[in-house]
């Protein structure tokens, strides 16, 4: 283990909260419910849980292991560990890819967080009351069509993120997640209770947990059914994205992890928290959708078009709608700080910048990149501003989520299980049992699964 060059989390529980805060984000509350709706419900959830257990957790353990053994930013950690293991210095590309992915993700993630921000005053003021589909669509359309409105909320969200990160590991990141994570869980449980009073709670549970393999893995037309692997690949990709793997966040949080803390149990607890929150989000959302005879597979508009209709037509919907968008904002905030931290850690190491200067530089650059995401929904939405049929917003999402993250995760698995010596993992994990299973998963199954994600992303599977 290398010398500690950064402050540490005060306790193992603080690390778990921070890592869970990184993992729990818009992917859990915005994306998971709508992709579950698109791919048929319970069978998709079952596949997703298998991907979390068999691929997500092993890769997370490997990333935490690298971070704690390196004790530096992801870039310098990988360079130091590669040198210590007699491997090529080229392995530091893992750190660089994570930092670049974090920049790209946050530059569009902050715009989506801004949508949640914008909907809070709309809900509080009662503007969502009595919405129909056309009015709800127009409300969201007016928001995205105004670059100045989107820029305002994007700027405010980035300022909130910077204020936390510049205060440091313990006074900033740790203090915030100790508040945000319990608040997030409490709000989500409150919303599940609200959904139970909708009259369609059991229908929502049935949709979320009943398994119909044919509905998920077969597409049927004119009486002919064809098997499709797309739901499996989507579940695999989302499991990877939702745990914040391959973007440097978990590695840098692992660098601040106390040396006596168990990596295996910590990773399992983080993955469990992430999964439970995603399922609770589904339990809160689907009963409300069914109670208003809306479509569960409404795509990305499920949260910003379909749900406002549901909240606007239910008793006390004004207040519970406000709580929902506050919940969405909290989830985005806890993830955003983890995306900034790897680059900030590298700047303080490489150039000896003070934390305030490093934080303002990183968040300022992300803010600038985010302007392109803002304009992708209005002035730059036309075909003349698209590449490969994608707006700048979509292109950044595609490059980060489907290229950089899978490749980063693949390289983490390959370095840990193939480039580094086996005793590096044995000593670092210190598992009394289960090491052989983890070793097989990280050496064979996880790389294969990640390669499938990548091949699907580029259209070869």
**So where are the chain's domains?**
12-457
The predicted pLDDT at position 257 comes to: 93
Q: Collapse the DSSP code of 220 into the 3-class scheme (helix H, G, I; strand E, B; otherwise coil) and give the result.
A: strand
What would the DSSP string read from start to end of 280-302?
HHHHHHHHHHHHTT--TT-TTHI
Total residues belonging to the chain: 461
pLDDT of residue 222: 66
- Number of helices (H), then strands (E), belonging to the chain: the values are 24, 2
Q: Are 69 and 424 in contact (CB under 8 A)?
A: yes
Greatest Cα pair distance, the chain, in angstroms, is 66
d(CA 332, CA 314): 26
Task: State the CB neighbour count (10 A cutoff) for residue 155.
Answer: 16
Enclosing H/E stretch for 336 = helix 317-350
* 125 burial type by CB count under 10 A (0-12 exposed, 13-18 middle, 19+ buried): exposed
CATH topology of domain 12-457: Hydantoin permease (1.10.4160)
Q: Residues in the chain with pLDDT < 70?
A: 1-5, 215-216, 220, 222-223, 297-300, 457, 461
pLDDT single digits (tens) 345-373? 999 999 999 999 999 999 999 999 999 99
**437 burial type by CB count under 10 A (0-12 exposed, 13-18 middle, 19+ buried):** exposed
Q: Report whether 29 contacts 331 (CB < 8 A).
A: yes
Residue 226 phi/psi, 5° resolution?
-120, 135
Phi, psi of 190 (to 5 degrees): -60, -40
The pLDDT assigned to 4 comes to 47
CA-based nearest residue to 262, from 12, 72, 24: 12
CB 130 within 8 A of CB 363: no
């Amino acid at each position: 283990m290398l010398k500690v060059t950064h402050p540490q989390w005060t306790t193992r529980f603080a690390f778990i909260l921070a890592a869970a805060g990184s993992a729990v984000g818009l992917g859990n509350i915005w994306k998971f419910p709508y992709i579950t709706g698109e791919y048929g419900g319970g069978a998709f959830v079952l596949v997703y849980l298998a991907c979390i257990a068999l691929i997500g957790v092993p890769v997370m353990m490997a990333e935490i292991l690298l971070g704690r053994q390196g004790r530096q930013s992801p870039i310098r950690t990988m360079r130091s560990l590669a040198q210590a293991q007699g491997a090529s210095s080229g392995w530091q590309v893992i750190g660089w890819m994570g930092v670049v992915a974090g920049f790209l993700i946050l530059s569009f993630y902050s715009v989506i967080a801004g949508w949640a921000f914008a909907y809070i005053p709309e809900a509080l003021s009662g503007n969502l009351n009595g919405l129909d589909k056309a009015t709800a669509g127009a409300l969201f359309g007016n928001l995205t069509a105004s670059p100045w409105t989107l820029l305002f909320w994007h700027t405010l969200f980035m300022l909130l993120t910077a204020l936390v990160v510049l205060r440091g590991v313990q006074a900033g990141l740790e203090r915030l997640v100790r508040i945000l994570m319990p608040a997030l869980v409490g709000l989500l449980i409150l919303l599940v209770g609200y959904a139970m009073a909708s009259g369609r709670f059991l229908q929502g549970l049935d949709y979320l947990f009943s398994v119909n393999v044919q509905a998920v893995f077969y597409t049927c037309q004119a009486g002919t059914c064809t098997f499709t692997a797309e739901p499996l690949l989507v579940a695999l990709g989302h499991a990877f994205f939702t745990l914040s793997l391959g973007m440097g966040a978990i590695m840098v949080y692992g660098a601040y992890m106390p040396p006596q803390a168990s990596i295996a149990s910590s990773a399992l607890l983080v993955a469990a928290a992430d999964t439970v929150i995603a399922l609770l989000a589904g339990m809160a959302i689907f009963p409300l959708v069914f109670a208003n005879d809306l479509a569960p597979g409404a795509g990305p508009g499920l949260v910003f078009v379909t749900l406002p209709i549901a909240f606007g037509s239910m008793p006390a919907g004004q207040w519970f709608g406000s709580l929902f968008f506050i919940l969405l904002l909290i989830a985005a905030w806890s993830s955003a700080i983890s995306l900034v931290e790897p680059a900030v850690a590298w700047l303080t190491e490489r150039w000896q910048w003070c934390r305030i200067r490093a934080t303002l530089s990183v968040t300022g650059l992300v803010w600038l990149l985010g302007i392109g995401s803002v304009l992708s929904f209005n002035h730059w939405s036309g075909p003349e501003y698209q590449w490969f049929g994608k707006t700048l917003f979509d292109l950044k999402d595609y490059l980060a989520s489907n290229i950089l993250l899978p490749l980063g995760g693949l390289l983490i698995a390959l370095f840990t299980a193939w480039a580094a010596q086996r005793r590096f993992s044995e000593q670092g994990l210190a598992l009394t049992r289960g090491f052989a299973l983890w070793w097989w998963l990280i050496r064979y199954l996880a790389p294969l699964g990640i390669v499938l994600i990548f091949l699907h992303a580029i259209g070869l599977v």
